[in-house]
Amino acid sequence: MYTRVRTIIQTRLHPAIMGAAVFFLISSAHAQTTSSVVYVCQEKGVLTLQNTQAHTNTATRTCNSKIITVREIPREFSRGFSRQTTPFPALRQMGDPMPTAQTLIVGAQVPSAVQQQRDFGRRHIVQSELNAAEQRLIKLQIEYNNGQPERMGHEKNHPKYLDRVAGLKQNIQLTQSSIDALKRELTRVHGAQ
C-alpha cells in the first residue's frame, strides 16, 4: 500500500489558525520596521517627533516627522500653581480638593493663631499619651511586686514563672523609656511656645 506524506502547504488548516498566523506575521513585520520616536525641541517652542531608525546616516533626520506646537506657559504658573487662578476650568473641576484656609503652602508664613492651635493639639496629644503610659507603668509595677509577682494557675513549673517575671521587667523598662521620651517631647513642645 502506498502512503502519502502531506506537506504543511497541502494540509488544510482551520481558518482561525490561518488568521492567527497571518496576524502574527504582519505584527512581527510591523514591529521590526517601527523604531523609537524622539521628541526634539527646536526654536520657538516647536516640538518635533522624529523616527530615529529612518535615515540614520543623515545628520538632519528629516523623516516622517509631525510638528506639534507648544503653547507658552502663562506667567501665573511660573510664580506658583494655584487652582483658583488657573485659566483652565477643567482643572478646577477635577476631584482634587481645593486648599483650605489651614492648608500649609510651601514657603508661606503660617498665621500665629493657626500655629498656636496646632501647638495646643500637639501638646494635648503628647500629654494624653504620657498619662496613658504612666497608668500602664503603675499597673505593671503593681503586677511585678518588686520582683516577686504572684504565681498564676498555669505557671506550676518554675521556668514559666521566670519567663513571665522577665517579661514584666522588660515591659516596665520599655514603658519607663517611653515615658522619658514623652516627657522630653513635652518639654520641647512647651519650649517652642
- Rounded to the nearest integer, the mean pLDDT of the chain is 69
Task: For residue 133, give the C-alpha cell.
Answer: 503610659
More confident residue, 85 or 183: 183
DSSP 63: S
Q: List pLDDT tens digits, range 6-54.
A: 544 445 555 666 566 656 556 555 554 444 555 555 555 555 555 555 4
DSSP 163: H
Note whether 99 and 112 are within 8 A (CB): no
Q: Residue 176: count other Cβ atoms within 10 Å of its Cβ.
A: 15
Q: List pLDDT tens digits, range 146-164.
A: 888 888 887 778 888 889 8
* Partner residues linked to 190 by β-bridges: none
Q: Where are the alpha helices (DSSP H) in the chain?
A: 15-33, 75-79, 89-92, 112-144, 158-191
For residue 49, CA distances in Å to 33, 53, 67, 72, 136 come to 17, 12, 7, 19, 67
Euclidean distance between the first and final Cα of the chain, in Å? 107
Q: What is the pLDDT of residue 150?
A: 85
